[in-house]
Amino acid sequence: MKGRESRSHLIVENAQWDAGRAAADRQEFLRDVVEGLSRRPKSLPCRHFYDAEGSRIFEEIMRMPAYYPTRRETEILARCQRDIREAMREEPFHLVDLGAGDGAKTRILLEPFHREGCLQSYVPVDISGDSLSRMAESLRREMPGLVVHPLADEYFPALDRLSAAGLGPKLVLFLGSTIGNFDEREAVSFLKGIRSFLEPGDALLIGFDLRKDPGVILRAYDDEDGITARFNLNLLARINRELEADFSPAGFLHHAVYDPEQGVARSYLVSRRDQAVRIRKAGLTFRFEAWESIHTENAFKFSPAEIRRLAEASGFLESARFSDREASFQNSFWTIPG
């Protein structure tokens, strides 16, 4: 980072930002729910799963024996940390963590990178300023001397601010399998957006869930203990809480399918009966026929060849790939051509 003046551009008044973000989120949530339930077939965006309760349930999902992605990616990062550093040819570099969350997986890289002196700073990006502040303080205690600049913002505004601050070279992390929530057109558009903020010498490390036994995939989205069902149904409970609706979650069931031809797991909420749901914040009533569905999530899976083509279509070059021992998950290292 270029001196104190550049660093000052990254400082966020987290409490004020969170208040404004919360108001904007409520309006976006209302708009998305009204638009989604007005469609035929009905749908709701999966990004709205993650209120406080949804995030808590997802932590349960990550601990399920059937939910493999978190364990597989953790294995990759622990085993390949030196290879990842060597793939990043520019040193020292800034580590930019998109969707940092609690930073649990990123710490696997942070500790050795910091110890070996190859980091200029760590920039975790997430929409919750409070959680980022707590994580930053924890990291500073655990790793004295580590420079942490939390950014409470959406991905692209954060990258824009980093670009304006003259930050570089950068290793950008997009861990997990979040890219799988986009279809191909959406994924290319999103990744081109990231590419537009990067320069030669920067790199992107991105996680992909690989194609595999359909039964293994399906169990991760429809477990025997019903945790994934609670996660899906919580979306209706959230609409009730925040938009003053009268959904009866017991009137819907969770249904997941995996399409091996397209390589996508799809989740639905299915109405058990004819029913009407009032959303008071919108002043609207939505009617459901018996067995009518609401599509709530896509989770695309990839082959190594599909990942390579996606990199090229987005303006990147796949310079290295790292997979777990079962070839179940892949972290792909993308650089800027030329």
Query: Residue 230 has what pLDDT?
Result: 98
Band (30; pLDDT cuts 50, 70, 90): very high
Band (19; pLDDT cuts 50, 70, 90): low
> Using CA atoms, how far apart are residues 240 and 34, in angstroms rounded to an integer?
13
Band (187; pLDDT cuts 50, 70, 90): very high
> Using CA atoms, how far apart are residues 91 and 86, in angstroms rounded to an integer?
10
**Contact status, residue 5 vs residue 257, Cβ threshold 8 Å:** no
pLDDT digits (tens, 9 = 90+) for 133-178: 888 889 999 999 999 999 988 899 999 999 888 888 999 999 999 9
pLDDT digits (tens, 9 = 90+) for 113-135: 999 999 999 999 987 777 788 88
Query: Residue 14 has what pLDDT?
Result: 47
pLDDT digits (tens, 9 = 90+) for 91-114: 899 999 999 888 889 999 999 999
Query: Residue 20 has what pLDDT?
Result: 59
Whether the pLDDT of residue 10 is over 80: the answer is: no
Q: Which SS3 state, helix, strand or coil, does residue 213 take?
A: coil
Query: Residue 221 has what pLDDT?
Result: 97
**Contact status, residue 202 vs residue 168, Cβ threshold 8 Å:** yes
Q: Which residues touch 292 (CB under 8 Å, ≥6 apart)? A: 41, 42, 270, 271
| Residue 114, CB-side half-sphere exposure with 13 Å CA sphere | 17
Torsion of CA 7, 22, 97, 4, to 10 degrees: 0
Domains of the chain (ranges, CATH numbers)? 3-15+67-212+303-335 (3.40.50.150)
Residue-by-residue DSSP string for 120-183? EEEEEEES-HHHHHHHHHHHHHHSTT--B--EES-HHHHHHHHHHTT--SEEEEE-TTGGGGS-
Query: Residue 293 has what pLDDT?
Result: 98
pTM for the predicted model, two decimal places: 0.88
Query: Residue 6 has what pLDDT?
Result: 37
* Beta bridge mates, 282: none
pLDDT digits (tens, 9 = 90+) for 272-322: 999 999 999 999 999 999 999 999 999 999 999 999 999 999 999 999 999
Residue 236: φ, ψ to 5°: -70, -40
Query: Residue 167 has what pLDDT?
Result: 82
Query: Residue 318 has what pLDDT?
Result: 97
Helix 184-195 vs helix 155-164: crossing angle, to nearest 10: 20
What's the burial of 304, exposed, middle or buried (CB within 10 Å: 0-12/13-18/19+)?
A: middle
Q: Tell me the two tokens of residue 255.
A: 């249904």
pLDDT digits (tens, 9 = 90+) for 251-274: 999 999 999 999 999 999 999 999
Whether the pLDDT of residue 335 is over 90: the answer is: yes
Band (74; pLDDT cuts 50, 70, 90): very high
Whether the pLDDT of residue 9 is over 60: the answer is: no
Whether the pLDDT of residue 18 is over 70: the answer is: no
pLDDT digits (tens, 9 = 90+) for 193-249: 999 999 999 999 999 999 999 999 999 999 999 999 999 999 999 999 999 999 999
Band (22; pLDDT cuts 50, 70, 90): low
Mean pLDDT of the chain, nearest integer: 91
Q: Which SS3 state, helix, strand or coil, does residue 274 take?
A: coil
The rounded percent of the chain whose pLDDT value lies above 70 is 93
| Residue 262, CB-side half-sphere exposure with 13 Å CA sphere | 13
Whether the pLDDT of residue 78 is over 50: the answer is: yes
Provide the edge-to-edge strand list for the sheet that holds 42-43: 42-43, 293-300, 264-271, 252-259
